[in-house]
């Protein structure tokens, strides 16, 4: 018979075997908390709003100015010191293109352009313009000027033509002096308030039609680059070759547009005297000359053509 000690050892051994077979759960010790370091407050994430999308608008340039619409009387000089007079119709804002209008013989700037200049400026002055007896003096039928076409207009009188031209008023009858006057007018137009000197356009009738191309070409010598010239009824009247002047201008990248009446003497032939890139001609079946081409009853609508030319060159 086994002793009590042996039996006790047997039971103890059996209990150890049972406990060894049961799973043991081990608890992880809690992380120590520092009593002297308070828990940092958690920040709420800040929402970042997307950058606002700006509505595209035309921003004025630092030099942009607003000019009153009232016409300004202008005194200036030709290269030889001859005093000349003109009127400036400022653009709504500047710097803006300036269109220089050149009259025909025997008129002057006051008798020819009094209706067309404020119409082209398009600042409401046509309401106060007296209606002339000729179609070009009645702005009521003129086409609407496109809203985006903001231009200044400068008109002037050639030497010897104030109140009506007379060849005897030119020294030796030298009509090339009118070409010099055209150059002076273009140069002065580039310096007027609100003018953009890089966007000057010349438009003329008859002697002014030649003045437009001859003046632009001469102004190149003074580093003035016309951006376009329009001739209504040229004829080589200023002792310079029209086709040669046009050829040199178009080589410089200056577009030229010529309009004439088919039955108007040499004007149609003068328009046709040059062909080439950058040059356009429009021949009306009528005999209308110069400013008389501004007429609602003829086939070629010169004012519409003028607006289209300006939109292409300066707008």
pLDDT given at position 265: 87
Give the per-residue pLDDT at 193.
Answer: 96
- What pLDDT shows up at residue 168? 67
How deeply is 58 buried, as exposed, middle or buried, from its count of CB atoms within 10 A (0-12, 13-18, 19+)?
Answer: exposed
Of the candidates 126, 124, 57, the one whose C-alpha atom is nearest the C-alpha of residue 92 is 124
Question: For the chain, which domains are there?
Answer: 65-313 (3.40.50.1820)
The whole-number pLDDT of residue 128 equals: 86
CA distance 144 to 313: 18
Question: Treating both helix axes as pointing N-terminal to C-terminal, what angle do 176-189 and 207-219 enclose, rounded to 10 degrees?
Answer: 60
b/e string for 234-245 if b means 16 or more Cβ within 10 A?
Answer: bbbbbebbbbeb
Give start and end residues of each alpha helix (H) in the chain.
Answer: 4-21, 109-112, 116-121, 176-189, 207-219, 242-251, 267-271, 302-313
Residue 215, pLDDT score: 98
The structure's pTM equals: 0.80
> Six-digit token pair at 191?
């310096």
SS3 label, residue 35: coil
Splitting the chain (315 residues) into consecutive groups of 10 residues, what average pLDDT does each group show? Answer: 38 35 38 42 43 42 78 97 98 97 96 97 91 94 97 97 83 92 98 97 98 98 96 96 98 98 96 97 98 98 98 94
Contact 130, 118 (CB under 8 A): no
Q: Residue 171: its pLDDT value, please? A: 82
pLDDT of residue 129: 87
């Amino acid at each position: 018979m086994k002793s009590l000690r042996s039996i006790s050892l047997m039971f103890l051994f059996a209990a150890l075997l049972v406990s060894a077979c049961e799973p043991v759960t081990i608890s992880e010790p809690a992380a120590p908390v520092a009593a002297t370091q308070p828990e940092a407050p958690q920040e709420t994430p800040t929402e970042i709003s997307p950058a606002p999308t700006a509505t595209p608008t035309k921003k004025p340039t630092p030099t942009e100015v607003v000019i009153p619409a009232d016409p300004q009387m202008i005194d200036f000089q030709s290269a030889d010191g001859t005093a000349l007079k003109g009127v400036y119709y400022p653009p709504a804002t500047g710097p803006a293109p300036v269109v220089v209008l050149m009259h025909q013989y025997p008129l002057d700037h006051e008798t020819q352009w009094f209706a067309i200049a404020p119409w082209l400026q398009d600042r409401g002055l046509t309401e106060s313009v007296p209606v002339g007896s000729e179609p070009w003096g009645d702005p009521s039928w003129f086409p609407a000027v496109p809203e985006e076409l903001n231009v200044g207009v400068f008109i002037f009188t050639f030497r010897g033509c104030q109140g009506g031209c007379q060849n005897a008023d030119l020294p030796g009858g030298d009509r090339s002096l009118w070409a010099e006057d055209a150059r002076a007018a273009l140069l002065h137009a580039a310096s007027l308030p609100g003018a953009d000197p890089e966007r000057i356009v010349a438009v003329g009738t008859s002697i002014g039609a030649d003045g437009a191309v001859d003046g632009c070409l001469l102004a190149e010598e003074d580093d003035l680059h016309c951006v376009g010239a329009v001739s209504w009824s040229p004829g080589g009247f200023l002792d310079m070759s029209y086709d040669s002047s046009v050829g040199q201008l178009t080589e410089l990248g200056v577009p030229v547009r010529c309009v004439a009446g088919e039955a108007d003497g040499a004007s149609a032939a003068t328009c046709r005297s040059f062909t080439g890139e950058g040059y356009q001609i429009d021949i009306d079946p009528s005999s209308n000359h110069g400013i008389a081409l501004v007429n609602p009853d003829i086939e070629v609508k010169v004012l519409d053509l003028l607006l289209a030319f300006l939109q292409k060159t300066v707008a």
